[in-house]
Amino acid sequence: MKIIVSHDVDHLYRDDHYKDLIYLKLWVRSTLEFFKREYGIREWFLRMCSPFRKERHRIYDMMEFDKKKGIPSTFFFGMENGLGMSYKRDKAVPLIKYVDEYGFEVGVHGIEYQHIEKMKQEYESFRRILQRNDFGMRMHYVRFDETSFEKLSKCGYQFDSTEFDKEVGTQIKKPYKVNGMWEFPLTIMDGYLPKEKNEKKEKTIELINKAEASGLPYLTLLFHDYQFCSGYASERDWYVWIISWLKDNGYEFISYRDAIDELEKRG
């Protein structure tokens, strides 16, 4: 079983959220989590201060870490706004090009999952930025219905990695093809793991063992880049730990593109 790592880019800059309630929700949620003793006062304080930092993303730190560890991760960027993803497309363009030139895969973090014309607009916007079509996507908040993947395949995406069972908190399912597009169900998402450190690690290993036992060829793991900082130390430390744990246990990391090449060769 090989590991595919990806990062959803939900936030870019401080001023992207002046017209929504993201910061108010962050302050309320963080304070409640602090009183539940999910993390300490330093982490709470840094989260409360985080809206005053110009950059909300941690893409540079994330890339540096992944590069050092030899992780061929993929970064998904939004082309439209919705559900707290509020940055303008133009602001994402330099970062998309930088990440791509740095050697990492980039793709679309989609908003529209029902209306095909709007889905095509997101695809075309990204294609114009990248000037090629060998990319995939994941829907924001992993939203989809029974028609979404068929429509995404018609847009021209090489792959999608959205299918996820929110009730169960995983989707242990082999990649499969929808017309010409490969669907890579999402196995592990940071936000659907327990908050307590030891429980989080135990649940992660449990999911990996279940995936291995099921014969899953590729396990997909999602970690949101904005959490790779001291303000989210508990989340960042989990990511650092799981990468080390996977390496120590002999797992190989692979990109979506290389995984597709392997799947296509197998016929």
- CATH number assigned to the domain comprising residue 258: 3.20.20.370
29 inside domain: no
One pLDDT digit (tens) per residue for the chain, 267 residues: 999 999 999 999 999 999 999 999 999 999 999 999 999 999 999 999 999 999 999 999 999 999 999 999 999 999 999 999 999 999 999 999 999 999 999 999 999 999 999 999 999 999 999 999 999 999 999 999 999 999 999 999 999 999 999 999 999 999 999 999 999 999 999 999 999 999 999 999 999 999 999 999 999 999 999 999 999 999 999 999 999 999 999 999 999 999 999 999 987
CA 146, 148, 152, 158 dihedral sign is: negative
- What values do phi and psi take at 189, rounded to 5? -120, 130
12 inside domain: yes
Q: What local confidence, expressed as pLDDT, does residue 254 receive?
A: 98
42 inside domain: no
- Give the Cα separation of 119 and 127 in Å (integer): 13
39 inside domain: no
- Give the Cα separation of 64 and 238 in Å (integer): 17
Whose structure tokens read 């992207």?
16
User: For residue 171, what are the domain limits?
Assistant: 2-20+54-266
**What is the token pair recorded at 133?**
């079509």
201 inside domain: yes
- Give the Cα separation of 174 and 58 in Å (integer): 31
40 inside domain: no
Report pLDDT digits (tens) over 109-132.
999 999 999 999 999 999 999 999
226 inside domain: yes
Cβ-contact 124, 93 below 8 angstroms: no
Q: What local confidence, expressed as pLDDT, does residue 266 receive?
A: 86
pTM of the model: 0.98
Angstrom distances, CA of residue 174 to CA of 168, 201, 243: 17, 23, 22
30 inside domain: no
In total, how many domains does the chain have?
Answer: 1
